[in-house]
Amino acid sequence: MKSSIKAKADLTLALAKKVAECAAKCVSDIRVLAGNKSANAKSLMGVIALSYKKGADLILIAEGRDAAHAIEELKKLL
């Protein structure tokens, strides 16, 4: 499953932590793409490395049995 969104806010450490914690609750493989960077959503350091700003185009990709749920939950945060 794939979804494109606009970032609601600049990426901060607190937001990256929430994203990684949310993704860790899911069994699906989840990636976040920002510009030419890609990160495993379950990796705090990976998400921080995306360092995007408010309004950035983000792509969420999830594969697994709870992929739709994972995407919806991350969309609420991002």
At 5-55, the pLDDT tens digits run 999 999 999 999 999 999 999 999 999 999 999 999 999 999 999 999 999
Q: pTM of the entire structure?
A: 0.92
pLDDT of residue 47: 98
Q: Please report which residue ranges of 30-66 form alpha helices under DSSP H.
A: 44-50
Instruction: Give the count of domains, the chain.
Output: 1
pLDDT of residue 65: 96
pLDDT of residue 16: 98
**What mean pLDDT comes out for the span 67-74?**
97
Whichever domain contains 64, its CATH number is: 3.30.1340.10
CB burial of residue 35 (10 Å; 0-12, 13-18, 19+): exposed
- Helix, strand, coil in percent for the chain, rounding step 5: 40, 30, 35
Q: Which domain holds residue 15?
A: 2-77
